[in-house]
Amino acid sequence: MSAKGDLLSPYRGLPQEIYVIFMSRVINALGCFVMPLLTLILTEKVGLAKDTAGLYLSLAGLMYLPASLLGGKLADRYGRKKVIVFFDSLAAGLYILCGLLSPSLAMVLVLMLAGAAMFTAGPAHDALMADLTTPANRSGAYSLSYMGWNIGFAVGPVLGGLLFERHLAWVFIGDALTALLALGLIIVFVKETLPSGRAAIAGPDRFLEKPEDGSIFSVLLRRPVLVFFALIAFGYNFAYAQWSFLLPIQILENLGPAGARYFGLVAGCNGLVVMLFTPVLTKVCAGVKTIRKMVYGGVLYAVGFGMLGVLYSLPFLFVWAFVFTLGEILLAISTAPFIANHTPASHRGRMSAAIPMIAGLGNTLGPLGMGRLLKFVNVNTGWQLIGVLTLVFSVLMYALEKFDDRQVLARQGLDRQPLDKQGLDRQATGAEGRNPGHR
């Protein structure tokens, strides 16, 4: 296969730090024991009732919102690497402390603090990736990072499950040790990337990334496209949340006691498709604008989720899971690059907290909203409504693409000078018409 047609070409020619981050993500996910088992830890080991466990998880979620905003602010002021090293080390230390504690409310509180520390570091990780890449190679870089996490995550929760019953302490300690090993790679091989000065961002296709003064709110007022994007992403996430809420309900209704086993097979299918098709879609869509990929992702959601309420049987269950997983991949490899391409370098940390926080509320409210809706409709109708919802949001994303094009032309002062498609793509979403594997 020629280099041009090679599926790995989007991953070639990236900064070496991106490959370090890829390995760090794999290692971190290999040791991701605690989060997938958190509900079981609270109920089976600590002994909390299900509703009490849910209350603590909700309280933890409320803690994570201000923690993320704080992390974004600190990353923009003091540096990405400093925030990552301090808060990821703190989270690992708190996990080790959990391993030394017997299951109790004290352990629960320490777990909540560890989660808050990880969420504080989250925006710094995203800002670091944005600093290290350009619009030309961001899709490839974020795709590689996404794939690295999924490679590790295919194994991590399985190992955690084996340790859970008799070696709970090692669930925490093992997670902490792999996190520290992953962090060590960043400490040794990745330098601080916080941009300095107004000449830090160069290139005609990067004018949206030039540093600006003012608060995050003032930047959002000047860039309404990001606010609209966050609201549309909220809708996508509301729909995606049903894959772990509405789908198990549907499978159990149709397959009875065997439903749990088949849901596990669907989850395994989802992970396998992610690993196999992430490089395929990254390569195939290399010349497609980031925002257009998210339109396509929404359409795949509409088909995959909506058809679960129209044509349901065990074989079709896997067909529609394949379809909506393709949509998941397109959205996963496009969301962060779109935000980075439209964010001033001076505000990357804060924007990496604010936009995902708004969009992520869709995941939080998805089960709650559908749970209320199921009092009035059946599961099949619920899926049909989700299909219509995602189709509407796909149309809105397409409209946002056109709005973004006009905004770019206005900011450039080129509204009277028509651009060819490749030129418009470079300015609107960052030169993604070029090979994203090279700078």
Residue 2, pLDDT score: 43
Band of pLDDT at residue 197, cut at 50, 70 and 90? low
**Contact predicate 173/99, CB 8 Å:** yes
Residue at 290 is within a domain: yes
Q: Are residues 185 and 279 in the same domain?
A: no
Let me know whether 283 and 328 are in one domain.
yes
How many C-beta neighbours within 10 Å does residue 129 have? 23
More confident residue, 373 or 39: 373
Q: How far apart are CA 300 and CA 79, in angstroms?
A: 38
The last residue of a domain, from among 164, 194, 224: 194
Provide the residue type at 135 as one letter: P
Does any domain span residue 41?
yes
Same domain, 225 and 154: no
Calculate the dihedral angle through the C-alpha atoms of 102, 106, 108, 114, rounding to the nearest 10 degrees: -100
pTM of this structure: 0.83
Higher pLDDT, 153 or 13: 13
Question: In angstroms, rounded to a whole number, what is the distance separating the alpha carbons of residues 435 and 400?
Answer: 25
Whether the predicted pLDDT of 124 surpasses 60: yes
- What's the average model confidence in pLDDT over 14-37? 92
pLDDT for the residue numbered 19: 97
Instruction: Determine what percent of the chain is predicted with pLDDT higher than 70.
Output: 90
Q: Assess if residue 201 is contained within a domain.
A: no
Split at pLDDT 50, 70, 90, the class of 33 is: confident
Residues 295 and 165 in one domain: no
Tokens of 350: 């804060």
Give the CA radius of gyration of the chain: 22
Return mean pLDDT, the chain: 85
Residue 79 is predicted with a pLDDT of 94
Could you tell me if residue 332 is inside a domain? yes
The secondary structure of the chain, three-state, reads CCCCCCCCHHHCCCCHHHHHHHHHHHHHHHCCCCHHHHHHHHHHHCCCCHHHHHHHHHHHHHHHHHHHHHHHHHHHHHCHHHHHHHHHHHHHHHHHHHHHCCCCHHHHHHHHHHHHHHHHHHHHHHHHHHHHCCCCCHHHHHHHHHHHHHHHHCCHHHHHHHHHCCCHHHHHHHHHHHHHHHHHHHHHHCCCCCCCCCCCCCCHHHHHHCCCCCCHHHHHHHCHHHHHHHHHHHHHHHHHHHHCCHHHHHHHHHHHHHHHHHHHHHHHHHHHHHHHHHHHHHHHCCCCCHHHHHHHHHHHHHHHHHHCCCCCCHHHHHHHHHHHHHHHHHHHCCHHHHHHHCCCHHHHHHHHHHHHHHHHHHHHHHHHHHHHHCCCCCHHHHHHHHHHHHHHHHHHHHHHHHHHHHHHHHHHCCCCCCCCHHHHHHHHHCCCCCCCCCC
Number of domains in the chain: 2
**155 or 306: which carries more pLDDT confidence?**
306
Q: Are residues 178 and 246 in the same domain?
A: no
At position 168, the amino acid (one-letter code) is L
**132, 159, 194 - which closes a domain:** 194
Backbone angles phi, psi at 139, to 5 degrees: -60, -45
- Domain identity same for 404 and 314: yes
Alpha-carbon span 359 to 353, nearest angstrom = 10
Q: Which of 27-41, 145-159, 304-318, 415-429 has the lowest mean pLDDT?
A: 415-429
| Residue 3 within any structural domain of the chain | no
Same domain, 171 and 264: no
Same domain, 55 and 28: yes
Tokens of 86: 């301090």
| Domain containing residue 392 | 213-439
pLDDT band at residue 427 using 50, 70 and 90 as cut-offs: very low
Residue 175 pLDDT exceeds 50: yes
Q: Is residue 86 in some structural domain?
A: yes
Question: Model confidence over 270-307: pLDDT tens digits?
Answer: 888 988 899 999 999 988 999 999 999 999 999 999 99
What digits encode the pLDDT tens for the residues 114-123?
A: 999 999 999 9
Residue 290's CATH number: 1.20.1250.20
> Does residue 168 sit in the same domain as residue 254?
no
**pLDDT band of 70, cuts 50, 70, 90:** very high
* Residue 285 within a domain: yes
Q: pLDDT band for position 4 (50/70/90)?
A: very low
Mean pLDDT across the stretch 348-370? 88
Would you state the structure tokens that stand for residue 299, as one six-digit string?
A: 């359409």
CA–CA separation, 239 vs 342, rounded Å? 25
Same domain, 254 and 333: yes
- Is the pLDDT score of 67 beyond 70? yes
Q: What is the pLDDT of residues 220-268, one digit of tens each?
A: 998 999 999 999 999 999 999 888 778 887 887 887 777 767 777 787 7
Domain end residue (candidates: 194, 227, 247): 194
pLDDT at 428: 42
Residues 222 and 189 occupy one common structural domain: no
pLDDT tier at 312 (50, 70, 90 boundaries)?
confident
Report yes or no on 208 lying in a domain: no
Q: 222 and 323, same structural domain? A: yes
Instruction: Work out the pLDDT band at 395, boundaries 50, 70, 90.
Output: very high
CB 411 within 8 A of CB 187: no
What average pLDDT does range 360-389 have in this prediction?
Answer: 88
